[in-house]
Homo-oligomer: A and B are copies of this chain.
Amino acid sequence: MQKIVARPAANRMMAIDDPREARRMIRAGEYTGHTAGVAPDFVQGNLCILPKDLALEFAAFCQRNPKPCPLIGMGAPGDPSLPGLGDIDIRTDLPRYRVFKEGKLIEEPTDVRKYWSDDLVTFVLGCSFSFERPLLQEGLRLRHVERDTVVPMYRTSIDCVPAGRFEGKMVVSMRTFTPTDAIRAIQITSRFPAVHGAPVHIGLPEAIGVADLARPDFGDAPVLDVGELPLFWACGVTPQVAIEAARPSLCITHKPGAMLITDRKNAELAAL
C-alpha cells in the first residue's frame, strides 16, 4: 500500500469528472498514476483476476466475507468485459497492474493483454473511496485526507470464514472521530454495504488484536487526538492477503491506489 507519486498528467486527471473519459485516457496510456479524486462521484473498485480453477472458491470466499470482500463485479471466464460496471476492457483500463506468479510479484505493467487467456476470471470488489466521499460530503473530518497520507491499515485477530484454498485474518482500515461524528460515520457507512458497510469495531483496538495504533501494518501512521475514538472498517487488503497465501499460479491485481473507475455512481450503492 505504498503511496503512488502522481505523474505530470495528474493535475489534468484530477479535474476529470467523467469515468468514461478517465478510462479513455488510461486505456490510451496517457495516465499511469493513482485514481483517488478522479471521477469522485463514481465507484472505484479493487481488481483481482484469477485462474478459473480458483474462481468458484474465491466467489465463495467473497460471499462468506462480504464486509472485507464486497463483490461488485464478476466476469465470465476469458471475457475481459464487465457487464453492469461500464464499457470496460479489464486488460487495459487500469492505470497500473500487479502480476503475481505462485504468489510472487513479477511485474507492474500498465496493461495485461499479454497475460490474458480464456482461463482467467475477473473479480471487482468495492473500495472505501465510495464511503469516504459521503462521509466528507456530510461534513465529517477524515484525518488521513486532511494530511494527504494513506489511511492506516492493521492485521487483526479476526478470522475470515475460509472457502477452499482461501483463508486468513481480516485486515482493517482505521479512521478516528469525535464520539458524535463516530455515530454519524456508523450511520452513513451502514448505507453502503456494497463498499465494506458499517465498521467492524470501535474503540478497543486490543480486542481485535491491534496492539499499537501508532504502527499500522499498511499505510501511514495516524495522528491520535485525545477525545477521539478509532473506528475500524473491513479493508480490501484482506482478500489480497488471502490470495497471497493461496499462491495461485497467476494472479493480476490493481497496483494499490490505481483502481478501476466504473460508471456506477457511489450514490447507487446506497439504493440496493
Contacts and interface: CB of A to CB of B under 8 A. Distances in A.
Given A197-B272, A272-B193, A272-B198, A56 B77 contact: yes
B56 A52 contact: yes
A73 interface: yes
Nearest to A164: B76
A193 B272 CA distance: 6
Contacts of A74: 59-60, 63-64, 163
Contacts of A163: 74, 76, 83
Contacts of A55: 56
Contact of A83 (B59, B66, B73, B161): B161
Contacts of A60: 59, 74-76
A71 interface: yes
B56 A63 contact: no
Nearest to A63: B74
A179 interface: no
Interface residues of A, number: 28
Nearest to A71: B63
Interface string A96-126: 0000000000000000000000000100000
A83 B64 contact: yes
A267 to B, nearest CB: 14
Interface string A184-195: 000000000100
Nearest to A67: B272
Contacts of A56: 52, 55-56, 59, 77, 121
A114 B71 CA distance: 34
Nearest to A65: B84
Nearest to A55: B56
A121 B164 CA distance: 13
A183 interface: no
Nearest to A271: B198
A64 to B, nearest CB: 6
Given A121-B56, A193-B193, A73 B63 contact: yes
Given A56-B59, A83-B161, A83-B162, 5 more contacts: A59-B60, A59-B63, A60-B74, A83-B163, A197-B272
10 contacts: A56-B56, A56-B121, A59-B59, A59-B60, A59-B74, A63-B74, A64-B74, A64-B83, A193-B272, A198-B271
